[in-house]
Amino acid sequence: MTSSRFFPTLRPLLLRPSQTLFTALMLSVYALSWLVWLYPVAMPAVMFVVGTGAFIASAYSLSAGLLVVFTEVFIGSLGHLFLIDMSGRPLPLRIFLFGVVMAGSLVWFVRNKKLTIYHWQAFQHLWWVPAWGVAAIYGVARAIIQHNDPARIFDDANQWLFLFVFLFIPFIYNDRYFPQSLSRLFRAAVLAVSLLSLILLYVFTHESALQIAISVYRWARDTRISEVTLLSSTSTRVFIQSQLFLLIGWIALLERWARGTTVSWRGQILLWLITSSLFLSFSRSYWLAMGVGVCILIVYLFFNDGITSLKRLFVGLLGAIVGAFVVIIIVAYLPFPRPGAFSVGDALSNRTDFNESAVGSRWNLLPPLWNAVRRHPILGSGFGATVTYESRDPRILAASPTGTYTTHAFEWGLLDFWYKFGIIGPVLIALLLWWTVQLWKRSFIVSATSIIVLLSAHTFTPYLNHPLGFIALALISIASMHRRDIGTFLFDKVKIESV
């Protein structure tokens, strides 16, 4: 049985309900995660139901299994929405779900008996992936040779298992329902993550009147779904790792505006919500990536579409910023219950302070990390290789007054590649840049810009060595396979009207 025979029953689930329903279901998953965190006795039952559903779906339809994996990454940040204890070792939802979907996919392969449905021509859009797979294998081998700590090797390398997703993409090459389902789930996820940012802002700007603020904070911290930080007595940071996908949506919607189409009122509100969420992240990496993306759009539009498109871009950008601030102010000052003090200015002042602890820690890491790279610049040091530096993180200072900290996870993403893979690391980045040039030549401007945006964010915060980055690159690859720019691929169902 092929996936097309199963899709008559899957189609109503994925294509007929409104996008609002999908978003509501995703927000319900967040709520369920919080409730199960409060009452952990329910965790085994939840994991069993989720695992059983994912196994059945992937056993009958490879497309359905991939959609499950993509959706969890879209909304799951670091993959700990649900967490179960396995003989003293925590098993997060992402690893559990990935294993279940892989097992279900094996059943699907056995039921199909032959691989004639594998579309080799799809590899012309995935030509860069084998090099990344080789790098992962090399990273493990090099780590073993270097006698790196096995626990650190596993923690570092298991993220790269998500490269297996690319092996399954050619099997759904001709599944005409998969692109529609994936784009719909992406839009719903982008909206859900944006709304979660605003919900958390509401909770923590009204914490004196709401009794759930402490439990919500601990849930966000323990599940690693979000980092909620009090920047000052009047400002709150809501950073969600899955906001990475909002960058792609943000660039895509701005480009559609600038190229001569106007997003409908629903699309415009989505742009406001995305912008407000990215602002609330107070992530310098995200803001840098947004700036880089806008600069690339400016250059492309100037040389290809002229001044008129630039004017549209600036109008759309100004509207997004103003709309985002209006949304944030409304949420922060909702009169029920009584809100606390909130100041956008205080938050901006904190994030532009280059003596702030996070910035100081990042710069303190740079010299020892660079020295570590220089020790093995050609061969690298493998997964799990560590660096010791002086951190300014308050949590680390609480445990070690000197701030001395040893880690294998580094903020400088590009140097992380070089340190662990040697000369292969820069080659991986060069391959992405060459792919970007190819997309640019095909006029897939949003796809090309999105890769540069991801690389910009990865420079200071590691994403491209993580399922978040791999799934983002997979999205661009799937769009390219269908001969479409990622912006058109993801938002073709957003109602737009010609200017």
Task: Give the number of other CB atoms < 10 A from CB of residue 211.
Answer: 8
Q: Of the ranges 36-45, 110-119, 358-367, which one carries the lowest mean pLDDT score?
A: 110-119
Dist. CA 169–CA 27, nearest whole Å:
28
Q: Does residue 39 lie within any of the structural domains?
A: no
* Number of domains, the chain: 1
Residue 318 CB neighbour total at 10 angstroms: 10
Structure tokens at 373: 């790279």
Which pLDDT score is estimated for 12? 42
Residue 369 lies inside a defined structural domain of this protein: yes
Q: 425 in a domain, yes or no?
A: yes
Q: Convert the pLDDT of each residue in 218-235 to its tens digit.
A: 999 899 999 888 766 557
pLDDT of 2: 43
The mean of the pLDDT values for the chain is 85
Would you say residue 83 lies in a domain? Answer: no
Q: How confident is the model at residue 132 (pLDDT cuts 50, 70, 90)?
A: very high
Domain that holds residue 479: 120-166+355-485
pLDDT band at 129 (very low <50, low <70, confident <90, very high): very high
DSSP 225: S
Is residue 18 domain-resident? no
Sign of CA dihedral 426, 427, 431, 437: positive
CB atoms within 10 A of CB 280: 26
Q: Confirm whether 199 is domain-assigned.
A: no
**Cα gap 379→326, rounded to integer Å:** 52
Q: Does residue 294 lie in a domain region?
A: no
Per-residue pLDDT tens digits for 388-420: 888 876 667 666 667 788 888 888 889 999 999
pLDDT digit string, tens, across residues 336-355 = 776 655 555 555 555 555 45
pTM: predicted TM-score of the whole model, two decimal places: 0.90
Domain contains 124:
yes
